[in-house]
Amino acid sequence: AQKITQTQPGMFVQEKEAVTLDCTYDTSDQSYGLFWYKQPSSGEMIFLIYQGSYDEQNATEGRYSLNFQKARKSANLVISASQLGDSAMYFCAMREDDSSYGKLTFGQGTILTVHP
Amino acid sequence: NAGVTQTPKFRVLKTGQSMTLLCAQDMNHEYMYWYRQDPGMGLRLIHYSVGEGTTAKGEVPDGYNVSRLKKQNFLLGLESAAPSQTSVYFCASSYAGLAGNEQFFGPGTRLTVL
């Protein structure tokens, strides 16, 4: 079974509107972390936001927030007030803490296009 | 601080040739990783290291070898390149421990095997 599933190959959003990128995960570990990375067309991987499995509050970083629903095993990224520069590939990733030495498992990614 | 650097940025090999990709980090991170990124497949872990002198296999280790002789460097070797190894290779590093330790990524190496 896929450990990280991103079901949206591509998403479109109008500039200044909010968009939600979906991520579901599968793990039997009690302790784990969920990450979102952005990959613009230039290719680098940019860390956006982190959510720990024991964190009770949803993580927020500026215009990024993570909608964490533990029972549903989902960790959706919400980008508010989209900007043209948000157009990129977005990856959800999971670190399972029990024995992983920080290894990340990535989803297949979602390409976000922001229209003016 | 340079962060994580990778050498080279681009390379074209012929089938059967060998090469080494170099990753260097100046953040004193204990953990280092090599990933490959193929279209439509996200990033997959090749090998990783939790400290100087130690390495371990990841999800797709076949055809690759690694070495970590110094804490700041992590080398990825292809002994006999195959077209299936055409990919973008990313190195990453992080602190040891569990809580929220993000991985810092290098800029990537685009490798083409003809």
The residue among A100 and A79 whose pLDDT is bigger is: A79
Closest-CA distance, B65 to chain A, in angstroms, reads 18
pLDDT value at A100 more than 90: no
Are the beta carbons of B75 and B11 closer than 8 angstroms? Answer: no
Cβ of A106 within 8 Å of Cβ of B44? The answer is yes
pLDDT value at A106 more than 60: yes
Angstrom distance (rounded) from CA A40 to CA B55: 30
Are the beta carbons of A75 and A65 closer than 8 angstroms? Answer: no
Residues whose CB is less than 8 angstroms from the CB of residue A19 and which lie 6 or more positions away in sequence, other chains included: A11, A13, A78, A79, A82, A112
- Tell me: the pLDDT tens digits for A20-62? 999 999 999 888 999 999 999 999 999 999 999 998 899 999 9
**pLDDT band for position A79 (cuts 50, 70, 90):** very high
**pLDDT band for position B98 (cuts 50, 70, 90):** low
Greatest Cα pair distance in chain A: 45
Instruction: Please tell me the predicted confidence (pLDDT) of residue A40.
Output: 95
Mean pLDDT of chain A: 93
Of A31, A43, A103, the CB nearest to B45: A103
- Tell me: the pLDDT tens digits for B39-75? 877 899 999 999 999 999 999 999 999 999 999 999 9
User: DSSP states of chain A as a string?
Assistant: --SEE---SEEEEETTS-EEE--EE----SSEEEEEEEE-TT---EEEEEEETT--SPPEETTEEEEEETTTTEEEEEE-S--GGG-EEEEEEEEETTT-TT--EE---EEEEEE-
Mutate to test the interface with A, among B105, B109, B110, B111 (most CBs of A within 10 A): B105
Instruction: Please tell me the predicted confidence (pLDDT) of residue B39.
Output: 82
